[in-house]
């Protein structure tokens, strides 16, 4: 059974810092991995999707990497801003199943 773990559960940083969020999964037979952002009480916004054949994806200040063989992904946020404060969720998709989510990392960026 696929399990997704995110570390740390919460993170507080000052504005301007670069930071890394971690995601690990137990079954490497995934189709893709996605990172989402969720603001309190709101839905999910897709940030980056990495196909199983890819190593990384970039969008603006965000960079996500995938090491399928070790069951790990990282989300790198450069030059963090207070507007980046949110919960970041990692999810993996296996063929024939649904997205399986971690519990998320809650990020707080102070000005």
Partner 1 sequence: ETGVTQSPTHLIKTRGQQVTLRCSSQSGHNTVSWYQQALGQGPQFIFQYYREEENGRGNFPPRFSGLQFPNYSSELNVNALELDDSALYLCASSNRGVDEKLFFGSGTQLSVL
Round to whole Å and give the CA distance between 72 and 15.
26
Can residue 93 be called a binding residue for partner 1 (CB under 8 A)?
A: yes
CB 110 → partner 1: shortest distance, Å? 22
CA 80 from chain centre, in angstroms, equals 15
Cβ contacts of 60 within 8 Å, gap of 6 or more = none
Can residue 34 be called a binding residue for partner 1 (CB under 8 A)?
A: yes
One residue of 11, 13, 19, 49 binding partner 1 per CB under 8 A: 49
Stretch in the footprint of partner 1 (CB under 8 A) among 14-22, 29-37, 53-61, 62-70: 29-37
Closest C-alpha to 49, from 73, 71, 27 = 73
User: What are the φ/ψ torsions at residue 31 (nearest 5 degrees)?
Assistant: -90, -40
One residue of 32, 54, 63, 74 binding partner 1 per CB under 8 A: 32
Interface residues toward partner 1, by CB under 8 A? 4, 31-32, 34, 36, 41-46, 49, 89, 91, 93, 96-104
């Amino acid at each position: 059974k696929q399990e997704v773990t995110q570390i740390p559960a919460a993170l507080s940083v000052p504005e301007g810092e670069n930071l890394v969020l971690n995601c690990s999964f137990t079954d490497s037979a995934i189709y893709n991995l996605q990172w989402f952002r969720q603001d309190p009480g709101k839905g999910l916004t897709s940030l980056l999707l990495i196909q199983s054949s890819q190593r990384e994806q970039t969008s603006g200040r965000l960079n996500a990497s995938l090491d399928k063989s070790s069951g790990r992904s990282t989300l790198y946020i450069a030059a963090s801003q207070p507007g980046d404060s949110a919960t970041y969720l990692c999810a993996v998709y296996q063929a024939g199943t649904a997205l399986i989510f971690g519990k998320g990392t809650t990020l707080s960026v102070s000005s």
